[in-house]
Structure 1
C-alpha cells in the first residue's frame, strides 16, 4: 500500500520524469523540424553521420572533377573551332592554287592570286595563335595535351592528344608551310597536291578532337548524375521526414500539456494530507 508522506512524493517524481522525457523528445523533434535533418551531428547517430560525411566529401570532390572536365572540353572545343576555320581556309587556298595552274594567266592575274593565297595562309597562322583557352593551345607546334580529372580520387584522367596544325610543321607534313605560295604555274600545281594532303590531315585531326570532346562531355554528364545520386543517398540517410515530424510534434505537445497537468495533480497530494489534521 502506497505510503502518504510530505517528505517523498513518489507520484510527483514519476510525473516529473515523464515530463522531462517528453520535453527531451520535443526538443529533438523541434531540432529536426528546424534543420530538416534527423541526423544533424555525430551525437545524433555517429555511424550514420560518419557515412554521410564521407559521401559529402565525395560529392564535393566531384565538383572539382566537373570543373576539370568542363575546362578540358572548352579547351578542345576552341581547338575544334580553330581547326574548322583552318579547314575552310585551306579549301579557299586550294581554289586559288587550282586557278593558278592555268597556263593562260597573265602576270597581273597570277600575282593577284598569289597575294590572295598568301593572305589566306597568314590567316591560318593567326587562327592557330588565337586557338587558346585558359592558357592551353592544342593545335600549335608542341601543343598542350588535355588531361581532365575523371574521378573524385584523382587517380584517373581522360586525355585528349594535341594536334599539330602549325604552319611551321607544314600542317602535318603536307608542305603547306609559312612560305607556301603559288607564284608560278609549276609551284601552283605542286601546291594543289599539298593542299589536298593538308585538308586530309586537318580533317583527321578534327575527327580526333571531336571524339575527345564527346568523351569529355559524356563523362561530364555521368559525373553530374553520379553526384545527384550521392546527394540523394546522403539525404536518405540524414534528412528528416517533415510530415512525420509534424505529426510527432503535435503528439508531444499534447503529451507535454498532460504531463504538466499530471505533475500539478501529484503536487497537490500533500495538500490532501493537510486536510487530515483539520
Structure 2
C-alpha cells in the first residue's frame, strides 16, 4: 500500500543510517584517541580497573625516583667508605713503621698519620648527597635523646604494594647508619660504644670499642713517645677498625646491589602494568581502521537508501497527472 502519511521504507532507512552513524562516531573516536575504553560509559569495569592501575603506576614512578635518590646516597657512602679503608690501611702501615723507630722518626711518622687522620675526617664530612650523610652524623640532632646516642636508620622507599583488599603498603630498604657511621657529633662523652668506627676508643685485646682509660682510636692515636708495646697495641686497634670498616663497606655494598635490583624490578613492573592497561582499554587500530572503511560504505549506502525511500512519495504524484 502506498501512503503519503507513512513511509515505512524511509523510516527503516533512517534507523539504519542512525545506527551506522553512531557506530562510525564510536570508531572514529577510538581511532583518534587510540582507546577502546576511554570513559566509564564505554565499559565501567574496565575503566575502573585501568584508572586504578594508572594511579598505581604513577606511584611506582615516584618510587622509582626515590630509588634513584637512594641509589645516589648509597653510592656516595660506598665510595667514601672504600676511600676510608684505603686511608686507614695507610695509617696501619705508618704505625707498623714506627715500631723500633727513633723518637725523631716517630715525630715525622706522626705528621704523616695526622695528615691521614685529617683526610679521614674530610672524606666522612664530604660524603653528603641531597642533605644526607651516613658517615659523619649527629645522633643527638637526629633523635633528640642524649642518653641514646644511636643514629637513626636511613630508609629508602623501594616498593608500592596494593593488597587484594585494596590496602596500600610501602616497602623500604633500611640502612643501619649506627653500624657504619665513622664520626658522631651527638655521642655522649665517654660513650665509646656509640661513637663512630674511627673515633671510638678500642681495647687492643678484643678490638671492641670500650670506655676504659688508656685505649686508642684511629682518629686520635699518636705514635710520639710511644713504646713498641704501645705501638703494637695501636696496630691491633687499627687492624680491628679496618675489619669493622670492611664490614661497613660490605653492608653498603649489599644495599647498593639491592637498590639496583629493586630499580630494575620496579621498571619491569611499570612496563607490565602498562601492558595490562593496554590489554583492557587500547583499541585495535588494524581492526578499527578496517571497520571505519566498512562503516563509511554503509553510511553512503544508507544515505542512498533513504534517498530512494523518500522518492517514493514523488512517484505517487505521477498517478495524478
* TM-score (normalizing by structure 2): 0.81
Q: What is the 5 A alignment of 1:38-187? A: 38-103=36-101, 105=102, 107=104, 109-141=105-137, 142=139, 143=151, 145-152=153-160, 153-162=168-177, 163-166=180-183, 169=196, 171=198, 173-174=201-202, 175-186=216-227, 187=230
Indicate the larger mover: 31-40 or 136-145. Answer: 136-145
Q: Displacement, 1:250?
A: 0.6
Inter-partner Cα distance in structure 1 for 2:287 and 2:264 = 35
For residue 313 of structure 2, the aligned residue among 253, 270, 278 is: 270
* RMSD of aligned residue pairs (Cα, Å): 1.8
Structure number with the bigger relative contact order (C-alpha 8 A, sep ≥ 6) is: 1
Instruction: Give 1:214's match in structure 2, choosing from 239, 257, 278.
Output: 257
The answer to whether the aligner puts 1:8 opposite 2:6 as a matched pair is yes
Tell me if the contact between 1:33 and 1:245 (Cα under 8 Å) persists in the aligned partners. yes
2:218–2:237 contact (8 Å) kept in structure 1: no
Q: CA shift at 1:245, angstroms?
A: 0.4
> Counting helix residues as a fraction of each chain, which structure ranks higher?
1
Q: Deviations over 1:88-137 (max 9, x none)?
A: 1011111111111133x361x32221111100001101111111122111
193-202 or 237-246: bigger deviation: 193-202
Measure how far apart 1:198 and its partner are.
1.1
CA distance in 2, matches of 1:254, 1:173: 90
**Structure 2 stretches of 5 or more lacking a match?**
140-150, 161-167, 185-194, 203-215
Asked if the contact 2:134/2:181 (under 8 Å) is kept, the reply is yes
Give the gaps of 5 or more residues in structure 1: none
1:234-249 to 2 correspondences below 5 Å: 234-249=277-292
Structure 1 stretches of 4+ moved >6 Å = none
Cα 1:49–1:173, aligned 2, differ >3 Å: closer, same or farther? farther
Displacement of 1:147: 1.2
2:135 counterpart SS class: coil
Q: How many residues get paired?
A: 274
Give the Å deviation of 1:144: 5.1
Q: Distance in 2 between matches of 1:100 and 1:19?
A: 102
